[in-house]
Chain A
Amino acid sequence: MALLNTPVRRTWFAVFVVGALAVPFFGNALVVDLLCRTALAVIGAQALNLLTGYTGLVSLGHAGLMAAGAFASGILTAELGAPFWIALPAAPLVGGLLGFLVGIPSLRLKGVYLALSTLALHFVILYVAAEYQSARGFSTGLLIPRPTLGPLTIAGGRAWYYTLLVLAAATTLFCLNLVRTRAGRAWMAIRDRDIAAATTGINVTRYKLMAFVVSSAITAFGGSLYGYYAGFVSVEAFTFFTAIEYIAMITIGGLGSVLGSILGAAFVTLLPYGVDALINVLPVGERVQSHLFAVKFGAFGLLMALFLVLEPRGLVSIWSRVRTYFDLWPFRYHPLGE
């Protein structure tokens, strides 16, 4: 329990857990659905954060990897009739393999060039998936039945909420621990200055590949879960914009921070609905109603841009400023001698 090493942390964690568990009893179906989607986003964001935030390897292939995971599970379930406990683990395996394959040529590349090779991966995966989908006649997607594990079936908002909550928490814990191990430190060294990392004896190749494999596996896992949650898999659900959303999540949250990924995932998933709710409260006449949707769409982009301009280091930096404020209160600065 080194993560919760102070009584204050333990108390707040307990409060959070109680709150999270109680939500389905107080919130309506919409809120539960949004939180489920946030949990899915958290899983994906954590994966991307490991690769981009901690190791410094920019990846735009996120949506393609999610699609790969979703299709892996989907094809196994719909075409081969595989049960849940085979189809689901197949996704991270496929993801890991793809991560390895894309990792190798990426060892030579950095920055924008790396981003583009991963983007190429995205297009290639989606092309293959689209061809598959048309060739096999799944015009609107493969239908995935509800996941069953023995006598248990995950169905309905509440069941999914708890399942996804547990899985998101597990992923977060996994990532938190991973970055505190040797691999995590190696990744951070590579991100900061990989030539220096190599001179201190870190096998850059091995750790870069490991980052790709682990990140892609978790991403594919997230994609497969998404397929189960939505009840279907289709190539149209995984667009380039999805990849951008995940990049936005980890950037707005704060690159290289596990907490940042959670905050960013929540922000990006919930912002459109927040904007909707805010604009809906404003009283407007009938004529303007039809323009509202364009306003909401544009407002989302505008708010994201504003946020990035005003707070480029992300939500985490706001969080740590708030925390520091309360820590130091009533002082503004650390007193001398501390």
Chain B
Amino acid sequence: MARSAKLAMTMALAVVAVALLAGPVHASDPYKVGVTAALTGPASTTYAPMIDLFKTYLGKVNAEGGINGHPIQVTYEDDRAEAPRAITNAKKLLEQDKVVLLINTSSSATFKPTIATAKEGKTPLLFGGSVCPEEVFPPADPLLFCSTSFAAKLDAEFAAHFMHEMSGGKAKFGLAAMDIPISRIGIDTAEAVGKKLGIETVAKVVIPPTAVDFTPFASKLKEAGATWGFAWAPWPWEIGPYEALLKLGWQGEYLLYGFQPLEATFARLNRESLFALVGTNLLAEDIPEIKAIQALAAKAGVTRIDLEGWVTAVTLHEALKACGWPCTRDKLQTVMTGISIDFKGVKGGPIQWSKDNHFRTVQYYKVYRWDSVKARPVVVKDWSRVDVEQKLKELK
């Protein structure tokens, strides 16, 4: 065969190969969404698993025909929890990929730049899995929304009340935080609320990110005579002091926010003094939707199921469904402002946004502890409603 013909054939084959390998071509126009997340880097242990489940859920949605007959196309960008990368990611997603919604699943270091870019591009920004920034609370910024189940101040406030209740008003608080502003704000709120309830905080430890050994910090809490420990921080800094306290033979009780590694930790530690405050049901609960999520994750090979990823995905699904087709940034923003999202029993209740409140009008909390006899988590306090706007007024 002539050389030029061979060359042409090779090139044609290459083109076909690339086209085939590049994946199926969608027949109808997709919804375009952008995600900037901490997929590698220091915060990835917290946020990367959320994205795994998020992707899996959206894959299922697409397999079932998409939303309003259109597939959803998500572009993921890794920001490594670094502000400069977050700016670049946001700019790229907005201006190059022309997404209709931006999602942030990363640490608070990336918030301000992502917010600034979203506002400049007049694109709605959903914080899904990242801690809710103050701008989504009343009076909410029109473009910013948050579906994350946890929020430092409200969690701490609820926790303080819970510990007060459980101890009959006689608790002595020992608080632990990580050296990031949002964590410190959380325990400062717990201290202030405790004080209002007449409870003394005997020790407060702020643990640096490079802590080698949690024992000295736990010692401080123990020596101060704390009877109830509370921590609100990334998971390793919540559980670290508790494990050290156990080692020291501390006999008190410990409450923390139950992030994803909670259930494995409950089983591993097998202790009844650990209480966890959660915003979503545990996987151990016999709820059909949770069983479905677990089956889906197993099929997709996702080993670490972080329900916050699912919550974000469902929020996105509902928002786009309500937006209809075609969906523009303005229309989506309007739709999201009044939306109510149902989570089929996974959370205590729906997320309802209003014009001023893009966090939710009602927050639901549940408290679990481990039962070593039954060898599973049991409910200590079932779903409790917290009126967000009223609470925020109290906390001011």
- Direct contact between A and B in the complex (CB less than 8 angstroms)? yes
Interfacial chain B residues near A148, Cβ < 8 Å: none
Known contacts: A134-B184, A234-B83. The answer to whether A29 contacts B91 by CB under 8 A is: yes
Min CB distance B186 to A, Å, is 10
Interface residues on B, range: 35 or more
Judge if B39 is at the interface, Cβ distance under 8 Å.
yes
Interfacial chain A residues near B120, Cβ < 8 Å: 156
Min CB distance A139 to B, Å, is 4
- Complex alpha-carbon distance, A34 and B22, angstroms: 27
Q: Is the CB of B84 within 8 A of A28?
A: no
Q: Report the nearest B residue to A294, measured CB to CB.
A: B40
Judge if A124 is at the interface, Cβ distance under 8 Å.
no
Interfacial chain A residues near B39, Cβ < 8 Å: 293-294
Q: Is the CB of A234 within 8 A of B87?
A: no
Min CB distance A240 to B, Å, is 10
Q: Report the nearest B residue to A284, measured CB to CB.
A: B21
Q: Is the CB of B78 within 8 A of A293?
A: yes
Judge if A197 is at the interface, Cβ distance under 8 Å.
no
Interfacial chain B residues near A294, Cβ < 8 Å: 39-40
Interfacial chain B residues near A133, Cβ < 8 Å: 181
Q: Is the CB of A237 within 8 A of B95?
A: no
Binds A, one of B104-112, B164-172, B212-220, B333-341: B104-112
Min CB distance B154 to A, Å, is 14
- Complex alpha-carbon distance, A92 and B258, angstroms: 46
With beta carbons under 8 angstroms apart, the residue of B40, B92, B301 that contacts A297 is B40
Interfacial chain B residues near A287, Cβ < 8 Å: 301
- Complex alpha-carbon distance, A286 and B83, angstroms: 28
Interfacial chain B residues near A293, Cβ < 8 Å: 39-40, 76, 78
Judge if B23 is at the interface, Cβ distance under 8 Å.
yes
Known contacts: A30-B96, A231-B116, A283-B21. The answer to whether A140 contacts B181 by CB under 8 A is: yes
Known contacts: A37-B88, A237-B83, A297-B80. The answer to whether A230 contacts B113 by CB under 8 A is: yes
Q: Is the CB of B109 within 8 A of A33?
A: no
Judge if A138 is at the interface, Cβ distance under 8 Å.
yes
Interface members, chain B 1-43 (any A CB < 8 Å) = 17-18, 21-23, 39-41
Known contacts: A28-B95, A30-B95, A286-B23. The answer to whether A236 contacts B80 by CB under 8 A is: no
Judge if B205 is at the interface, Cβ distance under 8 Å.
no
Judge if B55 is at the interface, Cβ distance under 8 Å.
yes
With beta carbons under 8 angstroms apart, the residue of B84, B92, B108, B180 that contacts A30 is B92
Question: With contacts defined as CB atoms under 8 Å apart, how many contacts are there between chain A and chain B in the complex?
Answer: 98
Interfacial chain A residues near B134, Cβ < 8 Å: 139-140
Q: Is the CB of A230 within 8 A of B83?
A: yes
With beta carbons under 8 angstroms apart, the residue of B51, B87, B301 that contacts A230 is B87
Judge if A130 is at the interface, Cβ distance under 8 Å.
yes
Interface residues on A, range: 35 or more
Q: Is the CB of B109 within 8 A of A237?
A: yes
- Complex alpha-carbon distance, A232 and B203, angstroms: 33
Interfacial chain B residues near A89, Cβ < 8 Å: none
Q: Report the nearest B residue to A40, measured CB to CB.
A: B84
- Complex alpha-carbon distance, A134 and B113, angstroms: 19
Judge if A181 is at the interface, Cβ distance under 8 Å.
no
Interface members, chain A 124-164 (any B CB < 8 Å) = 130, 133-134, 137-141, 143, 156-157
Judge if B133 is at the interface, Cβ distance under 8 Å.
yes
Q: Is the CB of B113 within 8 A of A290?
A: no
Interfacial chain A residues near B111, Cβ < 8 Å: 140-141
Min CB distance A203 to B, Å, is 40
With beta carbons under 8 angstroms apart, the residue of A143, A231, A285, A297 that contacts B78 is A297
Q: Is the CB of A290 within 8 A of B52?
A: yes
Known contacts: A134-B184, A234-B109. The answer to whether A34 contacts B116 by CB under 8 A is: no
Known contacts: A29-B91, A141-B112, A297-B40. The answer to whether A237 contacts B78 by CB under 8 A is: no
Known contacts: A28-B96, A236-B83, A283-B22. The answer to whether A231 contacts B112 by CB under 8 A is: yes
- Can you offer 26 A-B residue contacts whose CB atoms are under 8 A? A29-B91, A29-B92, A30-B88, A30-B95, A33-B88, A134-B184, A138-B181, A139-B108, A140-B108, A140-B111, A140-B112, A140-B133, A143-B112, A230-B83, A230-B112, A234-B109, A234-B112, A237-B82, A237-B83, A237-B109, A272-B85, A285-B21, A286-B59, A287-B301, A294-B40, A297-B78
